[in-house]
Amino acid sequence: MATNGTDSLANFWNLSLNSLQVSYTSVIIAAAILWVVWTSATSYFRTRGRDRFPPGSFGFPIIGDTVQYLLATKSDVGYRTWVQKKVAKYGPLFKWRFQGMPVVMMDAPGGNKLLFQNDGTLFEVYWPVQMATLLGTDTLSVVRGERHKVLRRHLSRFFDHASISRYLKGVDQNAVEHFAHHWADKGESEVELVPSKVIKLFTFSIMCNLLMSLEEGPEMETFLKHFVKWTNGLLSLPINLPGFTYYKALEARKHIYQIIEEYVEQRKREVAEGRLSERAKVDVLTSLLTVPDEGGNLLSDSYICDNLLVFLFAGFDTSSGALDMIIHFIGKHPDVYEQLVQEHSSIMERKRGEGKDDFLTSEDLLAMKYTWRVIQETLRLQPPVGGVFREAIEDSEHNGYIIPKGWKLMYNTMCSHYDPKFFKDPMTFDPSRWEQPPVPFTFIPFGGGPRTCPGNEFAKMEMLVFIHHLVRRYRWSVTDANEPIIRDPMPRTEKAIKFIKVTSSI
């Protein structure tokens, strides 16, 4: 009996091993067949399309450059190096593969012009799966066609010149309170801060107040923690398993959505009962709830929640990344700081000479010409958004190459912002270069065409106000000139900076 049992066990293991060998053999054969098909197909397309498809390589089957690209976007040097290697090998117009999709990186200025001028006709917006899921399916950033046009017209009024003028005093007051609460250090002459951390508080509080009349406090701090986790997942591998960044971002989105939904429900009750605060009467949430679209229809709660989320992202993370980089570059260039101080001193002297109070006006912002050049140069060297995808909705042609329907396209700021043909000595921080306008379609930190960032003028105002109050109060320098710039996904630095209070009366 023991022998029979041993024989049965041996037979079982032999059968199992044989099954495993068959399985492994099947996998190997299937992989070999796929590889043959892949190489044959790519060889065919290389031969057939040598003069028809853009140059480049699709890399490994399916994944292509996905991993390399996502890793590269984690740092300034890595991202720039990835782009420059591709350009050096294939030229400014090249193809690659991302998450299984054939992608054409467009050249500047011609490719960018083609993309922006035909957005909505030859091309439509496209977001990789993880970004589309995290952003939401019914947001201004994601919807296409006529729906996008209607929504943009409906929402753009919140960021037109008249609206920005109304927002200015609130943003200015917010900046005064921000520096008093988060920078002042018990009256001491200096304070040591990690800029990215305090700037996030500034931009997030402004957007929360503007959109929902949410003031600073424990609730906002919790909201911000969820929001940071959410943004970290936008350029992560779409792996929805515990421990992965994308999983954490999805969980954070649930918390964010719950918070926004509670505010929507609360505001709907306040509107119905006629007990709105003066601030809530003019914030974006009340307008979204009470102002109908072109068809006379009020917006759904889910649409309002989705777009409040995107508005928060657009006004918070991109602006905080830009301001962090502005502090970084000013700290490395004392001459730039001195010119900024001179400009803002002149503005304050003029205001006081005219008997006006210290609150900024639209006229004051127009006088900040050098400050705007500093912002432009920062956005050239460290644009918060490195590039955005589009999808070809029909076959198109560019520079003699065919871009087939269904392929993805991407404009990339690095391709033109660092090109010496368009910007002399591109690695040099030089605000004076903006005394002359750039070649069209080469400076694209806010995108272009019908999908130009609708909040770009608001972001400009927000940054001008912050710099005004910063240089009036502090001077600083960057101690480590070689500190690496991290992207997650926006650019930031990690080291603390010592800010010294100035005694000037500007």
Annotated binding site: which residue ranges? 453
First to last CA, the chain: 100
Residues in the chain: 506
- Alpha-carbon gap, residue 328 to 92, rounded angstroms: 29
State both tokens at 193.
């801060």
The amino acid present at 16, given as its one-letter code, is S
Concatenating the DSSP letter of every residue in 400-447 gives TEEE-TT-EEEEEHHHHHT-TTTSSSTTS--GGGGGSPPPTTS--TT-
Which residues lie closer than 8 Å to 362 by C-beta, 6 or more apart?
Answer: 165, 168
Q: What is the helix, strand, coil percentage profile of the chain, to 5? A: 60, 10, 30
> What are φ and ψ of residue 503, in 5° steps?
-100, 0
Q: Which residues are annotated as a binding site for heme?
A: 453
Picking from 337, 326, 336, 335, the residue whose alpha carbon sits closest to that of residue 475 is 337
Residue 117: enclosing H or E segment and its boundaries?
helix 110-117
> What's the distance, CA 119 to chain centroid?
19
Whether the CB-CB separation of 376 and 443 falls below 8 Å is answered with yes
> Which residue carries 């000139």 as its tokens?
481
**Ramachandran quadrant class, 93 (left: phi over 0; alpha: psi -120 to 50; beta: rest):** beta
Picking from 98, 403, 274, the residue whose alpha carbon sits closest to that of residue 286 is 274
How do 101-105 and 408-412 pair as beta strands? parallel
Concatenating the DSSP letter of every residue in 242-308 gives TTSHHHHHHHHHHHHHHHHHHHHHHHHHHHHHT---TTGGGSHHHHHHHS--TTSPPPPHHHHHHHH
**Ramachandran quadrant class, 400 (left: phi over 0; alpha: psi -120 to 50; beta: rest):** left
**Ramachandran quadrant class, 258 (left: phi over 0; alpha: psi -120 to 50; beta: rest):** alpha
- Alpha-carbon gap, residue 468 to 462, rounded angstroms: 10
How do 396-398 and 401-403 pair as beta strands? antiparallel
**Ramachandran quadrant class, 487 (left: phi over 0; alpha: psi -120 to 50; beta: rest):** beta
- Alpha-carbon gap, residue 33 to 27, rounded angstroms: 10
Picking from 123, 119, 128, 129, the residue whose alpha carbon sits closest to that of residue 152 is 119
